[in-house]
Amino acid sequence: MRATVMYGAGEVRVEDVPDARLIEPTDALVRVTRAAICGSDLWPYKSMPHDDAGRRMGHEFIGVVDAVGSDVATIKTGDLVVSPFLWSDGSCVFCREGLQSECLHGGRYGLADVDGGQGEAVRVPQADGTLVALPVGEDDALMPSLLALTDVMGTGHHAALAAQVGPGKIVAVVGDGAVGLCGVIASKRLGAERIILRGSNPERIALGQECRVLEERDDGRRAGACSRIHQ
């Protein structure tokens, strides 16, 4: 299969790699239909020392389940699924507290024998705790917006929950990047009375204002506006 591999700062190739396959009974094999580039991909792109083995790239993806291990119970072949940027079992003490990033049995995509999301397919460990089936088809018009659920929307929403945003609250969001914009959306959905977005990019500030206003509407424009967060 084809996948994106980084060999060092500024050195990225799309090349043939071994096909993704099931290894553990808790795995799912997902054929990637959509993938995003994260801001954290830019850190190694700018500074990674050369590595002859290369590093698989990508941890934000949506895809169709092509196969599941014998222990997978909540996901089935043919499901369209979204994956968060980390995989986790969903049942350990940290996962039960909503801290899946600290999962005792979890990990990151693109390391060891786990594929990266910027490839044709991915072996997803701990599929039951990681993947979420989507109630839409793979060609649905919402798909660009749904990609935000793989990382930045969850991060922005978690930040708003951690800040105890709620009805009548005044919220300050520092930074107009993708996570900050998703923090605006999350704060509005949680009932914030006033949202102050601090940033330096006029286009992103305008997008934050647009997303906040469209949260109050139901005319189909919201998804189109907020799908531009990754751009």
* Spatial CB neighbours of 141, under 8 Å, sequence gap ≥ 6: 223
The burial class, CB within 10 Å (0-12 / 13-18 / 19+), for 17 is middle
Residues 207 and 184 sit within 8 Å (Cβ to Cβ)? no
Span 182-194, average pLDDT: 93
Which of 61-65, 88-92, 220-224 is predicted with the least confidence, judged by mean pLDDT? 220-224
Residues 109 and 87 sit within 8 Å (Cβ to Cβ)? yes
Which domains can be identified in the chain, with CATH numbers? 2-139 (3.90.180.10), 151-230 (3.40.50.720)
pLDDT tens by residue, 85-141: 999 999 999 999 988 999 999 999 998 789 999 999 999 999 999 999 999 988 898
pTM of the model: 0.84
For the chain, the distance separating the N- and C-terminal CA atoms, rounded to the nearest angstrom, is 27
Which of 177-181, 198-202, 211-215, 220-224 is predicted with the least confidence, judged by mean pLDDT? 220-224
- Residue ranges in 38-97 assigned as alpha helix (H): 42-47, 93-96
